[in-house]
Amino acid sequence: MKTLPLGQFIPGDSPVHRLDPRVKILTVLLLSIVILNSGAVEGLVVTAFLLAAVVLSGLSAGRIAAALKPLAWFFVLLFCLHLFFTDGRPVFAILPAVTHEGLERGTAVTWQFVALVVSAAVLTMTTAPSELVGGFEKLLRPFNRLGVPSHDIAIMVSVALRFVPTLLEEVERMREAQVARGADFGRGGLIRRLRKMATLVIPLVLCTFRRADELALAMEGRGYHRGPRTYLRELKFTRVDYAALLAVTAFLIGLEALRFLPL
């Protein structure tokens, strides 16, 4: 079975799939605030919360790993930057650049970004693109009175999320084409590998513009126009949605309050 990348919707009938998209969007937004302000204790609780969300959504470890894989180099780079460039007490006498403070900070910051990606993966993998558009549009609708085009913003967010797996697939297709022509991306040091990967940048940029042009023509051909729209299935909160939103909000607010309690 092919593992789908980040941003790709996976149909299912799990409790998370059945939730209203607005509940999941608000949960991710609140969770992101908590993640960026988490300490060690809060981090453990958030990690347990994310694991529970993954289990309830029916997503396998392979799905989540596929969402993290394209960003693996970024996570490593982020960790190393904090590890080697943070002043403090050396961990090893022979490596004074590696400090306890750098190790602690690198681990915390890397975990924050991993947690953000996992939460976004759960949202996009359990919510259909049309439901995401509807959810964002409903949440932003009160801002229409201030002149904010809620539907246009919802469409842009949905297109951006949908293009993530598309671009990742294009990168993989280009890499395979280069390998078929004799390129070897697995040998050499880090600098040499980065130079080889840089050869994919120009084709990827051209592909991105071509995809955007095709999308614009498709939307124009289907008569798309700005303004409010109707939906095949109107979003309505159920008792389960209200209960889930209340429980998650209370949990995250309580977790955030832990930072102000003396331990």
Three-state DSSP state, 200: coil
pTM value is 0.78
pLDDT at residue 125 greater than cutoff 50:
yes
Q: Which residue has the tokens 């809060």?
A: 42
Name the burial class of residue 27, with classes exposed (0-12), middle (13-18) and buried (19+) by CB atoms within 10 angstroms of its CB: buried
pLDDT band at 186 (very low <50, low <70, confident <90, very high): low
pLDDT band at 7 (very low <50, low <70, confident <90, very high): low
CA 133, 4, 6, 253: dihedral to nearest 10 degrees?
A: 80
pLDDT at residue 3 greater than cutoff 50:
no
pLDDT at residue 15 greater than cutoff 80:
yes
pLDDT band at 1 (very low <50, low <70, confident <90, very high): very low
pLDDT at residue 181 greater than cutoff 90:
no
pLDDT band at 242 (very low <50, low <70, confident <90, very high): very high
Q: What value does the mean pLDDT take over residues 199-224?
A: 83
23, 119, 121 from 26: Cα distances, Å:
5, 12, 14
pLDDT at 165: 72
176-186: buried (b, 16+ CB within 10 Å) or exposed (e) per residue? eebeeeeeeee
Q: Which two tokens stand for residue 215?
A: 């999308």
Q: Which two tokens stand for residue 127?
A: 């919510």
